[in-house]
Amino acid sequence: MIGGRIKMANIDLDDIERRMDGALDALSREFGGLRTGRASASLLEPLSVEAYGAQTPINQVSTISVPEARMLTVQVWDQGLVKNVEKSIRESNLGLNPQTEGNLVRVPIPDLSEERRVELTKIAGKYAEQGRVAVRNVRRDGMDQLKKSEKAGDISQDDQRLYSDEIQELTDAHIKKVDETLQTKESEILQV
């Protein structure tokens, strides 16, 4: 028994569940980069900055803060990188207009237009579909392992059915979580 589940042959249901959870985590990170009407440090975290001859994550050259609901500040540690950080934010396609004061880059978060809100919900829907596909791919891998184990004689047909049912339950639960996460994100985006 591993984590309350039996591990037979090459089938590890805990590993399948862990991989499905990974797909949900990736979706949460994608959603973190989608703008809502409020400031969030996760909005800038996906950005990279040209620093020391390489693309570097913005949070490795600065500190991102949320001093108020509609403002982000980026405290750049190296004065020489301030322009690059500002450029990265401006060119990020997030519709942000940073303003520099010494080593501090202020990023006011403008109100979202209705058109932009609808566009962001469509993007959120695409991210959710990618999450569903990732979960289904893990399911397919698990089912393939089951079929191979049954053909090799490692598990009986009855065990194969039992495992198939468990994998399907995991899949359904994770797809439901993707849908719930999408619904929450859409309501955040559409909230005025």
25, pLDDT greater than 70: yes
Evaluate whether residue 13 is within a structural domain.
no
Across the chain, mean pLDDT equals: 86
Domain count, the chain: 1
pLDDT for residue 37: 64
Evaluate whether residue 192 is within a structural domain.
no
Evaluate whether residue 92 is within a structural domain.
yes
**pLDDT, greater one: 172 or 185:** 172
Which domain, by its residues, includes 74? 41-108
pLDDT for residue 129: 95
- pLDDT one-digit tens code per residue, 37-56: 667 777 788 788 988 889 98
- pLDDT one-digit tens code per residue, 85-101: 999 988 887 778 899 99
Q: What is the DSSP string of 90-121?
A: HTTSS----EEETTEEEEE-PPPPHHHHHHHH
- Residue 95 CA to residue 30 CA, distance in Å, equals 17
pTM of the model: 0.67
Over range 132-152, report the average pLDDT. Answer: 93
Confidence of residue 1 (pLDDT cuts 50, 70, 90): very low
pLDDT for residue 153: 87
Evaluate whether residue 18 is within a structural domain.
no
Write the CATH number for 90: 3.30.1360.40
**pLDDT, greater one: 116 or 59:** 59
Evaluate whether residue 61 is within a structural domain.
yes
CA-closest candidate to residue 175, choices 132, 137, 129, 112 = 132
- Residue 104 CA to residue 73 CA, distance in Å, equals 7
Q: For residue 90, what are its two tokens?
A: 């401006």
CA-closest candidate to residue 134, choices 14, 12, 31, 20 = 20
Q: How far is CA 43 from the centre of its chain?
A: 12
Evaluate whether residue 190 is within a structural domain.
no
